[in-house]
């Protein structure tokens, strides 16, 4: 199994609902350093998993939709608790949409899966893994 990973980041404000979140129930914010890993059983004719330039552009576009925003006001996330886990899935699902739409090239339709990791600090991060 092969994989290729590209890294980008986003800076957002949000608050979390639920006693379990303690002080994070208040409006605060985070930088998420976002790693998107594309997995594939075999390489294409060029010897790659995916066009890394297009993969980086797709990740940049997805995090760009969330960047410099207060997620509490984002219609696409209304009624959602925007935990790191939930945001990892959100980014992964949006990337999967772009793979299916052909934004990463025709070859990207051969991808087997996707892992998205959001690092919220030097001591905590979350991941979501899905098939494609």
Residues of this chain that interact with its own copies (CB under 8 A) are 1-9, 11-14, 17-18, 20-24, 26-33, 43, 46-49, 51-53, 56, 67-70, 80-86, 88-89, 105, 120-129
Task: Give me the least distance between CB of 75 and its own copies, in Å please.
Answer: 15
Task: Give me the least distance between CB of 5 and its own copies, in Å please.
Answer: 5
Interatomic CA distance for residues 56 and 35, integer angstroms: 10
Which among 106, 18, 9 has a CA at the least distance from the CA of 54?
A: 106
Query: Which residue number, 82 or 98, has a Cβ lying nearer to its own copies?
Result: 82
Name residues whose C-beta falls within 8 Å of residue 53's C-beta, 6 or more positions apart in sequence. none
Query: Which residue number, 1 or 75, has a Cβ lying nearer to its own copies?
Result: 1
**Three-class SS state of 30:** strand
Interatomic CA distance for residues 107 and 50, integer angstroms: 7
Task: Give me the least distance between CB of 114 and its own copies, in Å please.
Answer: 12
Query: Which residue number, 52 or 132, has a Cβ lying nearer to its own copies?
Result: 52
Query: Which residue number, 12 or 98, has a Cβ lying nearer to its own copies?
Result: 12
Task: Give me the least distance between CB of 60 and its own copies, in Å please.
Answer: 11
**Three-class SS state of 41:** coil
Beta-strand relationship, 113-121 and 124-131: antiparallel
């Amino acid at each position: 199994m092969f994989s290729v990973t590209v890294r980008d980041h986003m800076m957002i404000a949000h608050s979390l609902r639920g006693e379990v979140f303690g002080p994070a129930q208040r409006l605060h914010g985070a930088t998420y350093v976002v790693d998107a890993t594309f997995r594939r059983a075999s390489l294409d004719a060029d010897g790659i998993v995916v066009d890394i330039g297009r993969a980086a552009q797709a990740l940049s576009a997805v995090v760009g939709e969330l960047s410099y925003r207060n997620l509490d006001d984002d219609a696409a996330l209304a009624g959602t608790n925007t935990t790191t886990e939930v945001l990892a899935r959100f980014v992964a699902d949006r990337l999967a949409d772009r793979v299916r739409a052909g934004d990463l090239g025709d070859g990207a339709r051969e991808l087997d899966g996707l892992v998205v990791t959001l690092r919220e600090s030097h001591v905590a991060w979350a991941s979501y893994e899905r098939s494609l």
